[in-house]
Amino acid sequence: MSGSLSAVLQTANSGLQAAQAALRATSDNISNVNTPGYVRKQVDQQQLIVDGVGMGVKIDGVKRITDQYLQGASLTAASESSRWSAVSQYLDNAQSLFGDPSGDGFFFNRLDSIYSAFQASANDPSSTLLRGQALSTTQDFLNEADRINSQIVSLGDTVETKVSADVDTANGLLEQISQLNTDIGRAKLVNADASGSENIQSQLLDKLSGIMNVRVNPRANGGVEVRSTEGVLLAGEGAAKLTYNSSATTPGYITAQPAGSANAEAIQVTSGELRGLMDLRDVELPKLYDQLGEFVNGAVGQLNAASNASAAYPAPATMTGRNTGLDLPTAIGGFSGTSTIAIVNAAGVMQQTVAIDFTAGTMSVNGAAGTAFTPANFLTNLNTALGANGSASFANGQLTLNATGGNGLAIDEGTSSKTGQGFSHFFGLNDLVTTTGFTNYTTGLKATDPHGFTPGAQITLRLSTADGRPIQDVAVTVPALPAMSDLLNSLNNSASGAGLYGAFSLDANGVLSFAGAPPTNAQVSVVADNTQRGAGGPSISQLFGLGTKEREARASRFQVNPILQGDPTKMSMGKLDVTAAIGTVAIRPGDGQGALGVSTSGDVPVLFQAAGTLGQVTMTVARYASEFGGGVGRAAAAAETRKTSAEAVASEATNRRQSVEGVNLDEELVNLTTYQQAFGASARMIQATKELFDTLLNIV
């Protein structure tokens, strides 16, 4: 009899303890109904069986009510939301640099101001004031391009700083998550309530997912394992060390060194704020400054084309071109059509003409029979043709023409053409806008041309995945073989070049580009470049515009010709009358045809290379300005749309997760009543058992 009563008492006592534990859990739930990150909990109860007989209830522990699928969906959605939030924020900042499209200060509207200013000066060619205003308007446009470009580059620096800060934060979170694993494991070992630590750990995981996407799996002994996309352990028994690797010329990427390992490996970061920031630094912002550089180069190219087709009065005694980066025979090779160099006196009277027929390969002085020339002896033949009236020289990639005896020079572009540029324009002999570096990457080089780079010098290239993780660095040596095709072969060599992952190619205009091959679709960047084209000449990356370092400075390299800035009267306002006979006027002081040509240069179709959101296109500068401006706006709007969509998905995922993890007061009040009744029932059973014991004792 006493054994049965003891069993009843034990059963009632176990029920009392279970009800007390459940009441404590329910009370905690109700108390924390408004606590951020709190996950409701419940007591895990099991039937207690002894020798096949039910002996009450046992408590297996306190567990949090979670759904691993919903938690994973919530973390993934939060990562995407953070990614596009970062992209949207900085692209919106970048868009604002261009100004209000509806306002007069909008960057792309400044071209219209240039054209209007030159139109006004064409109407009154004698006005020094109008000439100065035209030059000032042009310089304002170039200054604004420099400002925008510099601030886009500065945004990239800000983004890089933010990436480093996010990596530091992620390292701190991984350390805390790992430490909490230890605390949770200890609590689980003794069936203690670990929900407090688990809630804190869950909040840390939420923060981590905002920075980078991770895979989270529960551990058998409590806590979680955090892994990268490809499975590298980031937090478990210890925390991995994340490092952001970047340089000024190569894409950034993240490496992880797992706890206890001496090796760090590059990991995929496909989402989170880190992905958004790295995309901004390595993709989105470079697109902007690359396209800005292409746009300004195209606009300046047309201004210079019109200026080189014009003539100044009085004509200048010297014309010095830009550094083409080429030797003269290579630069002359590939020209077609005709051009005329004229010597005029101070009054614009024709003294001598040298008509150059590039197609026929002849030079004709004053209409006489032509004398044959080749690219190799072009300079010698030109000096012979100029005779006592002038001279020509070539050094450091620049062609210089001189007139003697107080005379001046004027050039008629005629039909001459190479890469879409006339003779004077290609060499920059009469440029309105000059540059402080290489900005035009249509070199005109063909596969059969000499590459000109010093044999044995090296350019080191990094091949990377689309998200910036390095695949391989290759040091390409300039070959002793002389042709551009030989240099291409070295660049594309499978063993010592980029051939395993893509190919470099040279298009019809001499533009060098790289295309990655599937499945890696690698991108290429320049780690170092000590190559040189001739003595003191440009490197491969400078001449062809390879790498972000060259591209990011491109839009900041333009300025109005300092000679014209110092003296606007030297502007080329008129046109050379190539039909004028020797001894008759060929340049007139009141001629505004040249300035008129500058004012309409924005309406001339020009070839723009692939940059930013546009591929290689032929269109007017005005149309390209419209496309570029619209593209900037569309990119910002698209990022904002992605951000809004990602936030909506994240909100829905969070709501669904909360519907499982969150506290429902109605439900908890029902539980509270149920457990109170269970507690009371167990207490009454104990009381009844006590009374029965007392009765039995009294009988004895």
Per residue in 348-386, pLDDT tens?
Answer: 999 999 999 999 999 999 999 999 999 999 999 999 999
Domain span at residue 539 reads: 458-544
Nearest C-alpha neighbor of 443 from the set 322, 342, 581, 584: 322
Q: Per-residue DSSP letters for 232-286?
A: -EEESSSB-EEEEE--SSS--EEEEE-TT-S--EEE---SHHHHHHHHIIIIIHH
Paired strand residues for 526:
461
Residues 84 and 206 placed together within one structural domain of the fold: yes
Residues 278 and 188 placed together within one structural domain of the fold: yes
Please confirm whether the linkage preceding 125 is cis (ω < 30° from 0): no
C-alpha dihedral sign at 525, 531, 533, 537: positive
List C-alpha distances in Å: 51 to 48, 54, 55: 10, 8, 9
Supply the pLDDT for residue 292. Answer: 97
Residues 75 and 203 placed together within one structural domain of the fold: yes
Paired strand residues for 651:
none
Q: What is the pLDDT of residues 55-108, one digit of tens each?
A: 667 666 665 555 566 667 788 888 899 999 999 999 999 999 999 888 778 999
Do residues 180 and 223 touch, judged by C-beta distance below 8 A?
Answer: yes
In the listed set 529, 544, 559, which residue is the last one of a domain according to the structure? 544
The predicted model gives 545-549 an average pLDDT of: 94
Domain membership of residue 40 (yes or no) is yes
Nearest C-alpha neighbor of 42 from the set 31, 57, 56, 28: 28
Do residues 513 and 498 touch, judged by C-beta distance below 8 A?
Answer: no
621-661 helix and 68-96 helix, angle to the nearest 10 degrees:
150
Residues 222 and 320 placed together within one structural domain of the fold: no
For residue 29, is pLDDT > 90?
no
Q: What is the pLDDT of residues 386-413, one digit of tens each?
A: 999 999 999 999 999 999 999 999 999 9
Supply the pLDDT for residue 178. Answer: 95
- Distance, in Å, from the CA atom of 546 to the CA atom of 56, rounded to the nearest integer, reads 78
Domain membership of residue 78 (yes or no) is yes
Instruction: Please state, rounded to an integer, the average pLDDT across all residues of the chain.
Output: 90
Residues 82 and 200 placed together within one structural domain of the fold: yes
Supply the pLDDT for residue 145. Answer: 97
Q: What is the pLDDT of residues 170-180, one digit of tens each?
A: 999 999 999 99
Supply the pLDDT for residue 695. Answer: 77
Per-residue HEC secondary structure of 33-71 comes to: CCCCCCCCEEEEEEEEEECCEEEEEEEEEEEECCCHHHH
- Distance, in Å, from the CA atom of 74 to the CA atom of 649, rounded to the nearest integer, reads 9
* Contacts of 62 by beta carbon, 8 Å cutoff, 6+ apart: 21, 25, 41, 42, 43, 44, 193, 194, 195
Q: Hey, what are 455's tokens?
A: 């044999």
Please confirm whether the linkage preceding 519 is cis (ω < 30° from 0): yes
- Looking at this protein, which amino acid is placed at residue 399? L
Span of 81-85, 130-134, 152-156, 639-643 with lowest mean pLDDT: 639-643
Domain membership of residue 608 (yes or no) is no
Residues 79 and 215 placed together within one structural domain of the fold: yes
Supply the pLDDT for residue 58. Answer: 67
Identify the helix (H) or strand (E) that includes residue 151: helix 128-189
Domain membership of residue 243 (yes or no) is yes
Nearest C-alpha neighbor of 465 from the set 277, 290, 273, 267: 267
Q: Hey, what are 307's tokens?
A: 């200026």
Domain membership of residue 357 (yes or no) is yes
Q: Where are the beta strands (DSSP E) in 447-522?
A: 458-464, 470-477, 502-506, 512-516
Task: Between 93 and 192, name the one with better pLDDT.
Answer: 93
pTM of the model: 0.88
Q: What is the CA radius of gyration of the chain?
A: 39
Whose structure tokens read 């295309």? 515
Supply the pLDDT for residue 649. Answer: 75
Supply the pLDDT for residue 449. Answer: 97
In the listed set 526, 544, 562, which residue is the last one of a domain according to the structure? 544
Please confirm whether the linkage preceding 314 is cis (ω < 30° from 0): yes
pLDDT band per the 50, 70, 90 thresholds, residue 192: confident
The DSSP bridge pattern shows strands 338-344 and 408-412 to be: antiparallel
Supply the pLDDT for residue 194. Answer: 76
- Looking at this protein, which amino acid is placed at residue 149? N
Paired strand residues for 513:
505
Supply the pLDDT for residue 694. Answer: 74
DSSP-derived letter for residue 220 is T
Domain membership of residue 16 (yes or no) is yes
DSSP-derived letter for residue 17 is H
- Distance, in Å, from the CA atom of 267 to the CA atom of 254, rounded to the nearest integer, reads 6
Q: What is the pLDDT of residues 430-471, one digit of tens each?
A: 999 999 999 999 999 999 999 999 999 999 999 999 999 999
pLDDT band per the 50, 70, 90 thresholds, residue 647: confident
- Distance, in Å, from the CA atom of 73 to the CA atom of 15, rounded to the nearest integer, reads 38
For residue 616, is pLDDT > 70?
yes
pLDDT band per the 50, 70, 90 thresholds, residue 13: confident
Residues 417 and 320 placed together within one structural domain of the fold: yes
Do residues 464 and 473 touch, judged by C-beta distance below 8 A?
Answer: no
Burial class (CB in 10 A: 0-12, 13-18, 19+), 601: buried
Residues 84 and 197 placed together within one structural domain of the fold: yes
Q: What is the pLDDT of residues 258-273, one digit of tens each?
A: 998 999 999 999 999 9
For residue 591, is pLDDT > 60?
yes
pLDDT above 90 as % of the chain:
72
Residues 170 and 186 placed together within one structural domain of the fold: yes
Residues 246 and 320 placed together within one structural domain of the fold: no
The DSSP bridge pattern shows strands 558-560 and 433-435 to be: antiparallel
In the listed set 492, 516, 544, which residue is the last one of a domain according to the structure? 544
List C-alpha distances in Å: 469 to 250, 254, 597: 10, 8, 49
Span of 342-346, 413-417, 548-552 with lowest mean pLDDT: 548-552
- Looking at this protein, which amino acid is placed at residue 656? R
- Distance, in Å, from the CA atom of 554 to the CA atom of 567, rounded to the nearest integer, reads 27
Residues 52 and 85 placed together within one structural domain of the fold: no
Q: How distant is the alpha carbon of residue 279 from its chain centre? A: 6
Domain count, the chain: 4
Domain membership of residue 596 (yes or no) is no
Do residues 386 and 356 touch, judged by C-beta distance below 8 A?
Answer: no
Domain membership of residue 691 (yes or no) is yes
Q: Hey, what are 666's tokens?
A: 């109605």
Residues 398 and 329 placed together within one structural domain of the fold: yes
